[in-house]
Amino acid sequence: MNLFLQNIVESFNQNNLPADWLGIDFYKFSNEKSLFDYQQKALENVLKALFLYYEQYKENKSEFYKHYQNNGLNEDLSYNIKKESKTLKYLLEYDKDYPINDDKISFEYFINRMSFWMATGSGKTLVIVKLIELLGLLISKGEIPKNDILFLTHRDDLLDQFKNHIEEFNNFNFNTKINLKNLKDYENVKGENTLPFT
């Protein structure tokens, strides 16, 4: 498996980031918890990927796709609409965002995505909470657009774990608080214009 984005960001020197993108603490989580090196590395990679996409390529998916191609992406990762998929009906609803050409949606329209591939028990939830902190900081500085953050999970115990980690993080941090809202309250929250971070 080729990890193109990981290879791209790991070859990008973090010291080349502008001052507004530096100074983020990826180590400390709470009084009791700190992130391991591999967790910090994941967040550093996210920071560099966000910089490349939003700052260097100004959200231009075509140009970012060329960056992938210039760094070894030779295979066609386009989405073939002729293959049966539960996802297709949703993509077709957003045909301007995911245009079809020769029965395919080019990988370039999915290029602004990344993921963590981490083992069970490796601390993904801690990384996600710190990622939310990172996104909030970059949003507050105007470096990335202000968008909603949606956390989904298929098990209630994982949702409870997430809430507990948010509470632990908030009790430790004086400058940043993450405000959780239930999806059922989304319309009311949006109407109130409540900030996700304080």
Q: pLDDT tens string for the chain (198 positions)?
A: 588 999 999 999 999 999 999 988 999 999 999 999 999 999 999 999 999 999 999 999 999 999 999 999 999 999 999 987 888 889 999 999 999 999 999 999 999 999 999 999 999 999 999 999 999 999 999 999 998 888 888 899 999 999 999 999 999 987 889 988 888 888 887 777 655 555
Give the residues across from 104 on adjacent strands. Answer: 80, 101
Q: Where are the domains of the chain?
A: 4-59+112-192
Q: Residue 131: what are its φ and ψ, rounded to 5°?
A: -65, -40
What pTM, to 2 d.p., does this model score? 0.89
Task: Summarize pLDDT for 49-62 with one digit per residue, the tens.
Answer: 999 999 999 999 99
d(C-alpha 80, C-alpha 110), whole Å: 13
Element spanning 79, H or E:
strand 79-80
